[in-house]
Amino acid sequence: MRLQTLTPENPLGLDDPSLFIQCAIVNGAHVASETTFAVDNPATGEQIGTCPDLGIDEARGAIDAAHAAFQSFKHTPALERQAHLLKLHALLLTHADDLARLIVWENGKAWGDAVAEVAYAASYVLWFAGEAVRQNGEVLPPSGVNRNFVLRAPVGVCALLLPWNFPIGMIARKVAPVLATGCTAVVKVPAETPYTNLAFVELVHRAGVPPGVVNVVTTHAHLVAVGAELTTNPKIAKVSFTGSTRVGKILAAQAASTLKKLSLELGGNAPLIVFADAHLPTAVAGTLASKFRGSGQTCVCANRIYVHDDVYEQFSAALAAEVAKFVPGAGFEDGVTHGPLIHKAAADKVMQHLADAVAHGARVVAGGKRLSDTLIQPTVLVDVEPDCLLSTEETFGPLAALIRFSTEEEVVALANRSEVGLAGYFFSCDADRIWRVAEALEVGMVGANTGAISNAMVPFGGVKESGYGKEGGRDGTDEYVVKKLVVVGSALG
Ligand code: SIN
């Protein structure tokens, strides 16, 4: 059932109403405040709840709690940390429907997307449960009488600054390696989607993780000041941020003052190339998967779609036919495949990109209408000029813009003509071309003949102004440890 009956005691229709937490969480306790901010349902604009609008003092309190907890949590045996993660994984699956409900209420994504995101989040927790017991150091060759060892030590208190587009995926991807390595955290949750994050941290505590290990700060009016505190406080050892390149640069500059360890997962503007030798049904399916997941609000969404002249008409007709089948609407409604955008400003930007492309000669062949402040029909544009606005700015919405090209050399140059480099995709049946183009694209992640690259077992991250650091995969815990050299000489000289 999508929702239980809505009542004053259970306004979001959850199976377990206690997962709807309208407080921050510090040292395991719920923290309220006199000033609050409203959280709205993107589908209707109606308020669904409030959260405390915390400032610097409360952020410092959360940092102190995480710092105190670190002194003991860093000594927790690996098997115990693994057990916490396995329990958390089980709890995420048990409460999957409620977590999906919270996502739809506050993020707006369609039910199917929300359910998939909970499974995605759980897979990171399971992966890092495995990594918790693989934090092995190294034994190096001796140098004379000295024996050389490298220990992997938890880095310390981590500030985790989260985006709204994956309300449970991103917290899982950052908190799970924190727990696996014996670090502690202060999580700054987005003002748009705090409730799924808070429910996740409630489940972290139900899984047996001690108070103070994971703390949550909710803020809206004091966002800039709290962000500055989290990136400059000397008790914070590491900052991990997912969001825009603009904000990432500000946070990096702030974190430089105390030389914190930093990972940044920033903007994408991904190219997607359909070569003339592509298997077109695969290319269409891959484009749908990459472009329209979460209504186009992912950092790895294809933003610039380059299609070879020889297959342009065939590909665009096939893509438009599939996109026309999508059903935009409120995320809980039966049959809805694509939910609204997060807020009106996000939809304004998509419409601006659409209008700019049309002004430069593009034509709409599917969708194209704005249905409400936040809801836009999934749209396909053809005859898009390579130089229009959406080539340089991430659209972050359900707009597939098809640009023509005629040679591999030309299209690789166009694809690389970007300051950012997170993901890139292409479709081809030529084995030589697959390796050549995979190597030539200036991105951190390449999808060849697929539009779905993200999973817990692989390193997620970009190059250029898409940031640095990897999340997930075997590298995923490296971001949360320091490698410490220990050289042991002979005690007797
Ligand atoms: C993101 O958009 O930041 C994450 C996308 C993903 O995990 O696939």
Q: DSSP string spanning 286-305?
A: HHHHHHHGGGG-STTSEEEE
Instruction: State both tokens at 242.
Output: 């997912």
Write down the pLDDT at residue 459.
97
3-state secondary structure of 407: coil
- Whose CA is closest to atom 7 on ligand 1? 454
Tokens 């489940």 -> residue: 203
With tokens 């919405």, the residue in question is 397
Neighbouring-strand partners of residue 139: 149
Strands 214-218 vs 184-189: parallel, antiparallel or unpaired: parallel
Of 81, 93, 99, nearest in space to 209 by CA: 81
List 58, 192, 265, 408, catalytic entry: 265
Beta-carbon contacts of 259 under 8 Å, excluding residues fewer than 6 positions away, are: none
Contact 128, 476 (CB under 8 A): yes
DSSP designation for 30: E
The token pair that represents 459 in the structure block = 């390193």
- Nearest-atom index, ligand 1, CA of 163: 3
Instruction: Give whole-number Cα distances, 387 to 290, 315, 383, in Å.
Output: 22, 21, 12
Q: What is the pLDDT along the chain (493 residues), one digit of tens a residue?
A: 689 999 999 999 999 999 999 999 999 999 999 999 999 999 999 999 999 999 999 999 999 999 999 999 999 999 999 999 999 999 999 999 999 999 999 999 999 999 999 999 999 999 999 999 999 999 999 999 999 999 999 999 999 999 999 999 999 999 999 999 999 999 999 999 999 999 999 999 999 999 999 999 999 999 999 999 999 999 999 999 999 999 999 999 999 999 999 999 999 999 999 999 999 999 999 999 999 999 999 999 999 999 999 999 999 999 999 999 999 999 999 999 999 999 999 999 999 999 999 999 999 999 999 999 999 999 999 999 999 999 889 999 999 999 999 999 999 999 999 999 999 999 999 999 999 999 999 999 999 999 999 999 999 999 999 999 999 999 899 999 999 999 999 998 7
First to last CA, the chain: 73
CB atoms within 10 A of CB 455: 13
* 300 C-alpha to ligand 1 centroid (Å): 6
Length of the chain as a residue count: 493
Q: How far is the CA of 67 from the centre of ligand 1 (A)?
A: 29
Task: Report pLDDT for 493.
Answer: 78
User: What is the reported pTM?
Assistant: 0.97
* Contact status, residue 85 vs residue 176, Cβ threshold 8 Å: yes
- Whether 227 contacts 246, CB under 8 Å: no
Ligand 1 atom closest to residue 460's alpha carbon, by position in its atom list:
7
Q: DSSP label at 260?
A: -
265 is catalytic: yes
The CA distance from 291 to 273, in Å, is 12
With a Cβ cut-off of 6 Å, ligand 1 is lined by 165-166, 169, 242, 265, 298-300, 454
Q: Are strands 270-274 and 302-308 parallel, antiparallel or unpaired?
A: parallel
Per the CB < 8 A criterion, the answer to whether 248 and 262 are in contact is no
Query: Which of 300, 301, 458, 471 to probe ligand 1 with, by most ligand atoms within 8 A of CB?
Result: 300
- Rounded CA-CA distance 53/312 in Å is 51
Amino acid identity at 213: V
* Helical ranges in 257-404 per DSSP H: 280-292, 312-323, 344-359, 389-392
Q: Identify whether the C-beta of residue 23 lies closer than 8 Å to the C-beta of residue 194.
A: no
Q: Which of 113, 160, 165, 241 to mutate to test the pocket of ligand 1 (most atoms within 8 A of CB)?
A: 165
Looking only at Cα atoms, what is the longest distance across the chain?
A: 82
Q: Which residue, chain included where needed, has tokens 């003991």?
A: 72
Question: What's the number of CA atoms in the CB half-sphere (13 Å) around residue 430?
Answer: 12
Ligand 1, atom nearest to 297 Cα: 2
Residue of 266, 298, 450, 470 to test ligand 1 pocket, by largest number of atoms within 8 Å of CB: 298
Q: Is the dihedral of CA 179, 184, 188, 194 positive or negative?
A: positive
How far is residue 198's CA from residue 31's CA, in Å, rounded to a whole number?
12
CA of 57 to the centre of ligand 1 (A): 32
